Structure 1
Amino acid sequence: MFALDEQRLRTVSGSASGSVMLTCQRCLEPVSVDVEAEVNLAMVLNEEQAKNLPRYYDPLIVEAEDVELLSLIEDELILSLPLVAYHEDCSIQTSFGDVDEAARTQEKKPNPFSVLAELKNKADKS
């Protein structure tokens, strides 16, 4: 909504919401994330005017150019995205391949420290 407030400031206020697909940072599968943005802007011509705005307004600097409403809403929605997107309950694959095969491979490998253990036993007996 475009309006003039009691201080005669041109304002833009409203809300936008939607759903976007992001990559889950746990399982790297797509996850749907709901985003919402509240917009409460006051139009100003320069940085000096922006510094003098009341705290409840964010500045929208318009320097003799048209304001693109679509990019304004897009920017606000991007700012409302979560830092990390993830599923509430996603199964993380922690091992690749057959678990039994990995256990058998570990059993077949000789312990590299077994030689040291034998040397220590011989030293203890002497």
Structure 2
Amino acid sequence: LFGLNEKVKKIKNLILIEPVGYYDFIKLQMEAKFILTDSGGIQEESTYFNIPCLTLRPNTERPITITEGSNKLVKLEVNEIVKEANLILEGNIKKSKIPKYWDGKTAKRIVKIFREKL
């Protein structure tokens, strides 16, 4: 596509791979210095794993990943992306936490509410 593939192949420390399964993808995320994405699901996963995430979109349907998590919206401009990536690589990482109700106990809370209300 417009010679992009050849240019990308020349970038050191960038590895292009074929699509992988979910568990392999999670493993790759957990080993990443940071993540570039436009995926809402990946914004959530990076927040949960406390991996810095640069979301290449003007908005998100998951604002909690920005207010409490490790996500940051970045304009789809090369200079802006490079600037934000360099800040992360230099150690300027946003302090984040796992949001309050992301504790794996949602089903228990729902059952409790049903039992109280029914």
Look at both structures and tell me which one has the larger radius of gyration over its CA atoms: 1
**Which TM-score band (shorter chain)?**
under 0.3
Higher relative contact order (CA 8 A, sep 6+): 1
Q: By percentage of residues, which structure has more helix?
A: 2
TM-score, normalisation: structure 2: 0.26
TM-score, normalisation: structure 1: 0.25
Q: By percentage of residues, which structure has more strand?
A: 1
